[in-house]
Amino acid sequence: MKPIVGIIDWAKSPLGDPESAAEKAVIGEAAEIRRYLCSSDADFTDEICAADALIVWHNTPITRAGIARLQRCRAIIRNGVGFDSVDVAAARERGIAVCNVPDYGTEEVADHAIALTMALCRQLFPLDSEAKSLGWVIHVEPKLRRLRELTFGLVGLGRIGTATALRAKALGFNVVFYDPHISNGADKALGIARVRTLEELLARTDVLSLHCPLNAETHHLIGERELSLLKPGAFVVNTARGAVIQKTAILRALREGRIAGAGLDVVEDEPLQTPEEAATPNLIVTCHAAFCSVESKLEMRSTSARIALAAVSGAPLENIVNG
């Protein structure tokens, strides 16, 4: 029998296609490709558990219990950058590699962060609403800002953070970053400034943009205390992971007018859960779509398929994140 590559797509909102055309173009006849719609690993059938490799989209959590049921899986490939949805320690204990695709959407996510920033700094959505209501009063004039007078603060200077920093710099922002894991000299190479504490970054920032992974260190990195350190006119942008920001804290800060606005591509416990959350003032939300473009999704799926092919062929694996 041919080895099996299982594609685990999110039942609520599938992101792949029923034909798995991109994956089949890479894997060819080397394995049988089967696609499954799952809400979580509780939906795993015996057939899924017998797969030789799994390609997993981001909204389907893979827990210790699910991993324990896998019979001969060599690799779990996260179809994207983040791998917080997979219990990497449990996979390592079972000898299963967890791999990701770290570079496919760098341009798109950076562009999306800047798009949210521009929508906030230039108040595009309130102005659009005013014009379409046949009005012509610029109620949001106090929030319209000159970019070169503003400080753009980044948390995280990896691939996407760097790409965003360069875009913000080109627009005239004063760019500052905080990242305790980056070696000295990155600021000099990019021509931007560095601060050594999150508190200093927050105090200086007019636009806070998050570009860090979600892990034990960054879970709720931005909560009530951190939001209180921002200027009242500050904007917050998150294209990283939802739980980096405590959802209740940022929605409360927006309702109370303690920050001027937020642009969130990701939210904790996404999507938004209630009409009250959706009605939060000065909030722009997009559908965890920053990574999306025709080109980026094809690149991501092709890379995941290439890793899956290596897994079923016994070849060395790329982008292993669990050692």
Active site residue 299: no
Distance CA 110, CA 164 (A): 5
Cα–Cα distance measured from residue 70 to residue 63, given in angstroms and rounded to the nearest whole number: 11
| Cis omega (within 30 of 0) for bond into 275 | no
Cα distance between the two ends of the chain: 30
Q: For residues 69, 71, 77 and 83, what is the CA-based torsion angle, rounded to 10 degrees? A: 30
Task: Spell out a b/e string for 215-248, using b for 16 or more CB atoms within 10 Å of the CB, else e.
Answer: eeebeebbbeebbebbbeebbbbbbbbbbbbbbe
Q: Is 270 a catalytic residue?
A: yes
Q: Give me the catalytic one of 270, 277, 299, 318.
A: 270
Query: Taking Cα atoms as reference points, which of 178, 182, 212, 208 lies closest to residue 195?
Result: 178
Active-site pick, 74, 167, 211, 241: 241
Establish whether 139 is a catalytic residue.
no
**Which phi and psi angles does 97 have, rounded to 5°?**
-75, 140
Dist CA 259 CA 228 (whole Å): 9
Which residue out of 112, 288, 301, 306 is catalytically annotated? 288
Q: CA 276 to CA 258: how far, in whole Å?
A: 18
Instruction: Give the span between the Cα atoms of 305 and 5, in whole angstroms.
Output: 9
Query: Coil, strand, or helix at residue 13?
Result: coil
Q: Extract the runs of DSSP E, i.e. beta strands, from 64-217.
A: 75-78, 97-99, 151-155, 174-178, 193-194, 207-210
What is the Rg, in whole angstroms, of the alpha carbon atoms belonging to the chain? 21
Pairing type for strands 261-264 and 193-194 reads unpaired
Residues labelled catalytic? 241, 270, 288
